[in-house]
């Protein structure tokens, strides 16, 4: 059944891809004398189409749910619209496509070197011949492995100060919506795309499977960030990350400042939070954002930026300030240096 659904989806996307390329893209490339990029452009179209269909599905399904059962009611949607721009940039999948196909020749060469020297290759498909080689089982294994990697990637974003300043662009949204998942600093997006492309290639994910894995993960994370009061029940909450579970991660004073370096880091599966003791099952509705954004004694909180460019620039300023602070702390004659002596 899984194979049939995937084949049907692949046929639909391929039909649109061919039509767009022949009737729109190829004539354009010919007119601007860029036919040398025709094959790469044709391949990229597949990812772009998947991204567009994904955004349309998000809006068609999640926006009505936000209207019917909102977790929060806002007087206006100011501050939400910029997140839609992030979504269109990220969901088109250009970064994932670039890194996956750029790294693939290097991994193919490396795997050939391993075979030449009789070194066992990573082959998750054949862990249990006849079982793990089944398409649905292999897909599930890849999903779990990538989710485990995603948990630690996310947790390190909160643990490492400079990295947190990039990730803070995501957490500074105080009106979480279906668009909020993709609100990330572009430098963080580049790091993330390179990381997951590397992991996927190491464990042997095929290009067609990678497209579906990325699309499914993105769609589920959009649901998690949506402004929807939705809980999966006792068992469901322990099987899959819900909007309620993930909202706790974004709650002021809990997500980043909670258990150790935060709680509920899971991307799709809450298992890793349960295993590594970073889970919180509290369902109480809390305001989202970062503590230092709040007004204290009439003094305005830190500004993380309202527009796309401002949010990126302020992140770099915070990184610069953090680096300068760390250098001052380590300088001879500083309080920390004196204490160390």
254 closest CA partner among 265, 239, 240? 265
Q: Is residue 334 part of a domain?
A: no
Contacts of 130 (CB under 8 A, 6+ apart): none
- Evaluate whether 47 touches 84 at the Cβ level (below 8 Å): no
Q: Is residue 341 part of a domain?
A: no
Whole-structure pTM value: 0.84
Q: Is residue 137 part of a domain?
A: yes
Instruction: Give the pLDDT band of residue 46 (cuts 50, 70, 90).
Output: confident
Q: Is residue 340 part of a domain?
A: no
Q: Is residue 218 part of a domain?
A: yes
Helix H segments across the chain?
Answer: 2-20, 26-31, 38-68, 81-91, 94-116, 135-159, 161-171, 186-202, 207-225, 233-237, 243-250, 271-275, 308-330, 335-340
Q: Is residue 43 part of a domain?
A: yes
Beta-bridge partner residues of 251: 288
Distance, CA of 124 to CA of 126 (rounded, Å): 5
Distance, CA of 98 to CA of 196 (rounded, Å): 12
CA 160-191-164 angle, to 5 degrees, is 25
Q: Report how far apart, in Å, the C-alpha atoms of 121 and of each of 106, 110, 200, 207, 209 are.
A: 15, 10, 14, 18, 19
Higher pLDDT, 32 or 274: 274
Number of domains in the chain: 1
Summarised one tens digit per residue, pLDDT across range 228-242 is 999 999 999 999 999
Summarised one tens digit per residue, pLDDT across range 174-224 is 999 999 999 999 889 888 888 888 888 888 887 778 878 888 888 899 999
Q: Is residue 59 part of a domain?
A: yes
Q: Is residue 186 part of a domain?
A: yes
Q: In which domain, by residue range, is 250 found?
A: 2-329
């Amino acid at each position: 059944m899984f194979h049939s659904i995937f084949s049907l989806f692949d046929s639909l996307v391929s039909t649109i891809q061919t039509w767009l390329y022949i009737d729109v893209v190829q004539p354009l490339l010919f007119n601007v004398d860029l036919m040398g990029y025709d094959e790469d452009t044709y391949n990229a179209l597949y990812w772009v189409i998947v991204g567009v269909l994904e955004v349309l599905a998000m809006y068609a399904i999640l926006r009505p749910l936000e209207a019917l059962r909102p977790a929060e009611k806002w007087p206006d949607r100011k501050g939400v619209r910029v997140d839609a721009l992030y979504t269109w940039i990220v969901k088109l999948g250009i970064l994932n496509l670039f890194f996956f196909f750029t790294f693939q020749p290097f991994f193919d060469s490396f795997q050939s070197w391993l075979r030449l020297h009789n070194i066992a290759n990573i082959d998750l498909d054949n862990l249990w011949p006849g079982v793990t080689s089944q398409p649905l089982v292999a897909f599930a294994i890849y999903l779990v492995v990538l989710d485990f990697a995603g948990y630690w990637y996310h947790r390190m974003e909160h643990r490492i100060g400079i990295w947190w300043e990039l990730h803070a662009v995501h957490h500074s949204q105080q009106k979480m919506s279906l668009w909020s998942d993709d609100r990330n600093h572009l430098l963080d997006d580049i790091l993330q795309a390179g990381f997951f492309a590397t992991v996927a290639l190491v464990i042997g994910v095929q290009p067609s499977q990678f497209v579906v894995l990325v699309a499914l993960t993105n769609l589920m994370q959009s649901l998690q960030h949506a402004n929807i009061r939705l809980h999966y029940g006792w068992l469901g909450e322990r099987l899959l990350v819900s909007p309620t579970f993930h909202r706790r991660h974004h709650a002021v004073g809990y997500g980043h400042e909670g258990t150790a370096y935060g709680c509920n880091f899971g991307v799709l599966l809450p298992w890793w939070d349960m295993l590594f003791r970073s889970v919180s099952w509290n369902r109480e509705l809390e305001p989202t954002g970062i503590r230092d954004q709040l007004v204290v004694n009439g003094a305005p909180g830190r500004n993380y930026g309202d527009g796309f460019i401002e949010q990126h620039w302020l992140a770099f300023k915070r990184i610069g300030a953090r680096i300068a602070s760390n250098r001052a702390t380590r300088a001879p004659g500083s309080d920390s240096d004196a204490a160390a002596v």
